[in-house]
């Protein structure tokens, strides 16, 4: 089973709202990732967690706040977003952060109005 589950599938939020994206995997993977993908562009790395600790933050604005409550769960808290933050947000996991492939969820389509 190589399933990464993301909820919700679609989200529309106003610029003053607070919302959260959720990601779950039960493959025993110890690295989890958030990516952002705009239309017709490749995924861009936002954050990497390794063993539940933040190991990479690609200079992401503070209106995006990641959280890793345990080894199976990854959240992305959203606050005061801008319309240009509208994108497909992808979660991925891998066995480790060295040499291993990452498996992706189906993404959350976020629209900021």
Partner 1 sequence: EDQVTQSPEALRLQEGESSSLNCSYTVSGLRGLFWYRQDPGKGPEFLFTLYSAGEEKEKERLKATLTKKESFLHITAPKPEDSATYLCAGRTGANNLFFGTGTRLTVIP
- Contact positions vs partner 1 (CB under 8 A): 2, 4, 6, 33, 41-45, 48, 55-56, 58, 88, 90, 92, 94, 97-107, 109
Pairing of strands 53-57, 44-50: antiparallel
Q: Which is nearer to partner 1, 4 or 112 (CB)?
A: 4
In the complex, least distance from residue 8 CB atom to partner 1, rounded to whole angstroms: 14
CA nearest to 52, candidates 37, 31, 28: 31
Q: Could you list the beta-strand ranges (E) of 1-113.
A: 4-7, 10-13, 18-25, 31-37, 44-50, 53-57, 64-70, 73-79, 87-94, 102-104, 108-112
State the greatest distance between any 2 C-alpha atoms of the chain, in Å, as a whole number. 40
Nearest to partner 1 of 12, 15 (CB atom)? 12
- Smallest gap from residue 97 Cβ to partner 1 (A): 4
Judged by beta carbon, residue 43 or residue 78, the one nearer partner 1 is 43
Residue (15 or 54) nearer to partner 1, CB: 54
């Amino acid at each position: 089973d190589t399933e990464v589950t993301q909820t919700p599938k679609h989200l529309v939020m106003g610029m003053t709202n607070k919302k959260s994206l959720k990601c779950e995997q039960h493959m025993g993977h110890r690295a989890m990732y958030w990516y952002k993908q705009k239309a017709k562009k490749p995924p861009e790395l936002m954050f990497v967690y390794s063993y539940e600790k933040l190991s990479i933050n690609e200079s992401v604005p503070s209106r995006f706040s990641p959280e890793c409550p345990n080894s199976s769960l990854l959240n992305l808290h959203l606050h005061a977003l801008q319309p240009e933050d509208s994108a497909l947000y992808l979660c991925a996991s891998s066995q480790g952060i060295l040499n291993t492939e990452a498996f992706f969820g189906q993404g959350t389509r976020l629209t900021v109005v």
